[in-house]
Structure 1
Amino acid sequence: MRIHFIAIGGSVMHNLAISLARSGHQVSGSDDQIVEPSKSRLRQSGLLPKELGWHPEAITSDLDAIILGKHASADNPELKKAQELNIKIYSFPEFVYEQSIQKTRVVIAGSYGKTTITSMIMHVLKKIGKEFDYLVGAKLEGFDSLIKLTPSAPIIIIEGDEFFASSIDHQSKFHYYHPNIALISNIYWDNFKALISEEEYYKQFETFIDTIVAKGTLIYNKDDHNLRKIVEETMDCKINRHGYKLPSYTINKGITFLQVGEREIPLEVIGKHNLSNIAGAFTVCEWLGIKREDFYDAIKDFKSSIRYLEFVASENGSVVYQDFAHTPSKLRSSIHAIKEQFSTSKLLTVIELNPYEVIDDSKVIQYGGSLEESDFSIVFINKNSIKEKNILLDNIVEKVMEVFDYPNLHIITELEGLYVTLEQFDSEGVNMLFMSSNNYTGLNLLGFADKFLQKKA
């Protein structure tokens, strides 16, 4: 097939383009902005556009398909040309479904945890040597791409999200996959990052359940009240239902042990959310015919999805973890996970806030009380990321201090100041959790951890 990607630089889009080119398709693409690592990977594959921008003259009638990225607007000139020529236009979830009609489609959904559960299943299948394709939303250790599509694999594991498929298609992505096996980890409408109403958000998951194929299977977290309610309201669907719950566990000397019958399985991940995710991943693997013993033997050395309560370094009895902080509720739960895991140690939490979120009163106020379990806290707001001169840094700092209302809080606005503070911090008996929704704004995380962990004179 001759396939053209409009907005080829996206994280999933460029991976799909490379995968299709490797499979023998003729692939071209365009974008008005391509950043790393997409840029280097497209260049290595010979797919990097010669120049940035939109080029409607590249859209010709001999194209078999257009794959439209979410980044491309509805009035994109290449899209308009393709519509004029009646070329078939796919969103990427539509295309992935069409390429996997003959496969067993396993779709992992939920407000939180879907990347981790998807990666757990992929980790286990890879360890036991089972052939599978996949689509996942984050770079995972041991996998060189976000997507793999082959003609031969009998199974595809898909991380399915509830957001719009494209600028011209406001149907949720996960409505296109029609899973044979579906998992929902939880349903939580968070007005911190809400794009649609709470009612409409829940409706996306009801519709997702309706898309499960007849006699297919829904696996769901019975500990989640919102999810249980929706499952009960969709009982007319002719599908199997299999609930799972938080498993029994113990923590000894900073190591979590999962209790499975008479066995105690040591894990490399921490936190109740990860334990619940393991229970969900096991249930999916069970439906795929994986033996219990094989699953638990494989899951023991699963580390983490990248930047999801991920271990960074340790020294002199202290540890450093990093995590992705996209909401205040995530900040609270990650702090709790570290405190539960290392109950005899104190905790320093460093949270990097987006300055454009903290000037929004409706958002910043939700951070109130989020640092309660942490013993020491630093809020980092990088002043270099503030582009508009009319935004006063002093006003932002004052507002953050007022909202957090936390006695051991320091606010730092320069990267160098953050390094100096950590270099001077006495880390004996203290762990550190670094959380950010940004790409670290030039921060060398290992160097950052080293400054914290080094023994102070």
Structure 2
Amino acid sequence: MPQAYHFIAIGGSAMHNLALALHQQGHTITGSDDEIYDPARTRLQQKGLLPAEIGWFPERVHPGLDAVILGMHARIDNPELERARALGITVFSYPEFIFRQSRQKQRVVIAGSHGKTTITSMILHVLKYHNRKFDYLVGAQLDGFDTMVSLTDDTSAEAAPVIIIEGDEYASSPIDRRPKFLHYQPHMALISGLAWDHVNIYPTYEEYVHQFELLADQMPKSGVLIFDESDNMLDVIGAKERHDVQKVPYEAHPHVIRNGQTYLTTALGVEIPLKVFGLHNMKNMAGAMAVCDRLGVTDEQFYEAIQSFRGAARRLETVTQSGNKIVYRDFAHAPSKVEATTEAVKAQYPGQKLLACVELHTFSSLNKVFLDEYRHSLDAADIAAVYFNAHTLAIKRLEPISPDDILAAFDKPGLQVFTETADLDAFINQQKSTANIFLMMSSGTFGGLDLTQIMNNE
């Protein structure tokens, strides 16, 4: 039966995708936000869901609504939220609503500090390749998928029997600070690796790790917990006394690199050429394979499908290439991700000179106390640079940091630090005569730097 839902903070990446998915099901969707940027703006506009005015309008919340879905971007004193509570309308956080829509499905949750988007994407790619019926929630736009969320009605004849969920450890909503993944109650969970992040939410490493312990503890009887056995902390979580839960450790899939091409080596006696590379991706692949195995996908089927997997958006994504020079863009910003991505690119191109640049853009990365976590994370690079913008610090109301703070924290000889986009651009241009591989790592935009132009005007 069609329902009426109102989204508070509809412009969010996950929120607008959920709104589109529910609209496609035939539900009535309205929403509000105080800022909506592309691609959300264009995609909502195309479906007639873009709010006519930007801002919060309590009158949009009325007794005719079946529920309100509350995004993390909204504040706890949001006037539309206050109106919904006053009217007694049910308010769901995003993960609460996803669980509500998937109670009759087998729920598979992919969690961890790094790799969860890629692992989820690999699983979706394999299932789609073999025409399996599934629902999903993933944190990046994928080739071949119109939205980042797909939900089928459990009461429909077309209902998918399983949902693959990328589960993050961020708070669920302004009024629910629990990690999103604790709402999903998975039958199968994969934890890819633990590295302290989000210090604005989890001030200590112990508090951060505890969230994943809670996820492991809530596994149901006959549940499956899949974990990277090369991660010491995950080994501890996986060794917990739960005889009614099946534990499945994994490690990097065996592979070889020849002439800049990575191949999986298999028990089938054949090598499988890949379009992705890096030790972290070989771990991601082993985890995805373990999940697919328990969803009825054979090894042969997995290998057949994974050859065409190109990666998720902004995960070692090729921006441009000219001759033997390549520019990669990657979402890496946390210390463990920066280190793993830099090492992966250097291992793939051992004879090439690598320029690696990371933008400090998130609350954690710009936190003066957290900076030391980046020590030696750029060591694999031949040329290294760090960019940050004082304006970003001011917006996030963080203590100022200086280039000297960054030099001391990263402890990388020859490291260059930039606070202006034009200076970074000039530096990259100077390095074109010596560097072959350019790795640009950020969850931001380097102040609007056009990465597609790096190869121009050589």
- 1:75 aligned to which of 61, 65, 77: 77
Q: What is the CA distance between 1:192 and its match in structure 2?
A: 5.6
Taking a change above 3 Å as real, the CA distance of residues 6 and 298 of structure 1, as seen in their structure-2 partners, is same
Q: Does 1:409 align with 2:409?
A: no
**Aligned partner of 1:400: which letter?**
I
Q: What is the CA distance between 1:196 and its match in structure 2?
A: 4.2
CA contact (8 A) 2:192 2:228 kept: yes
Q: Does 1:273 align with 2:280?
A: yes
TM-score (norm 2): 0.90
CA contact (8 A) 1:383 1:414 kept: no
CA contact (8 A) 2:226 2:248 kept: yes
**Offset from partner CA, 1:347-380 (integer Å, 9 cap, x none):** 1112233498787432334434333222112333
Matches within 5 A, 1:124-143: 124-143=126-145
- 1:329 aligned to which of 314, 333, 336: 336
Q: What is the CA distance between 1:86 and its match in structure 2?
A: 1.4
Q: What is the CA distance between 1:406 and its match in structure 2?
A: 4.0
Q: What is the CA distance between 1:301 and its match in structure 2?
A: 1.8
Matches within 5 A, 1:15-414: 15-151=17-153, 152-190=159-197, 195-233=202-240, 235-236=241-242, 238-261=244-267, 262-354=269-361, 360-382=367-389, 396-414=402-420
**Aligned partner of 1:106: which letter?**
V
Q: Which residue number corresponds to residue 450 of structure 2?
A: 444
Count of matched residue positions in the alignment of Structure 1 and Structure 2: 449
Partner SS, residue 361 of structure 1: coil
User: Structure 1 CA distance, aligned partners of 2:101 and 2:362?
Assistant: 42
Taking a change above 3 Å as real, the CA distance of residues 186 and 365 of structure 1, as seen in their structure-2 partners, is closer
User: Structure 2 CA distance, aligned partners of 1:79 and 1:237?
Assistant: 43
CA contact (8 A) 2:353 2:434 kept: no
**Aligned partner of 1:85: which letter?**
L
TM-score (norm 1): 0.91
Aligned residues with identical type, % of pairs: 44
User: Structure 1 CA distance, aligned partners of 2:88 and 2:325?
Assistant: 61
Taking a change above 3 Å as real, the CA distance of residues 338 and 99 of structure 1, as seen in their structure-2 partners, is same
Taking a change above 3 Å as real, the CA distance of residues 446 and 21 of structure 1, as seen in their structure-2 partners, is same
**Aligned partner of 1:369: which letter?**
H
**Offset from partner CA, 1:423-454 (integer Å, 9 cap, x none):** 34344573221112313422221112445xx4
Q: What is the CA distance between 1:172 and its match in structure 2?
A: 1.8
Taking a change above 3 Å as real, the CA distance of residues 371 and 77 of structure 1, as seen in their structure-2 partners, is same
User: Structure 1 CA distance, aligned partners of 2:12 and 2:235?
Assistant: 34
Partner SS, residue 371 of structure 2: helix
Q: What is the CA distance between 1:186 and its match in structure 2?
A: 1.6
Unaligned runs of 5+ in 2: 154-158
Q: Which residue number corresponds to residue 156 of structure 2?
A: none
**Offset from partner CA, 1:374-412 (integer Å, 9 cap, x none):** 211233345676768x9999x823443454454433334
Partner SS, residue 78 of structure 1: helix
CA contact (8 A) 1:355 1:386 kept: no
Unaligned runs of 5+ in 1: none
**Offset from partner CA, 1:200-236 (integer Å, 9 cap, x none):** 3222222212333332222121111101101222x23
**Offset from partner CA, 1:82-106 (integer Å, 9 cap, x none):** 1122111111111111111122211
Partner SS, residue 356 of structure 2: strand
User: Structure 2 CA distance, aligned partners of 1:421 and 1:2?
Assistant: 53
Taking a change above 3 Å as real, the CA distance of residues 12 and 54 of structure 1, as seen in their structure-2 partners, is same
**Offset from partner CA, 1:243-286 (integer Å, 9 cap, x none):** 21112111110111111111111111111110000000001111
Partner SS, residue 370 of structure 2: helix
CA contact (8 A) 2:225 2:238 kept: no
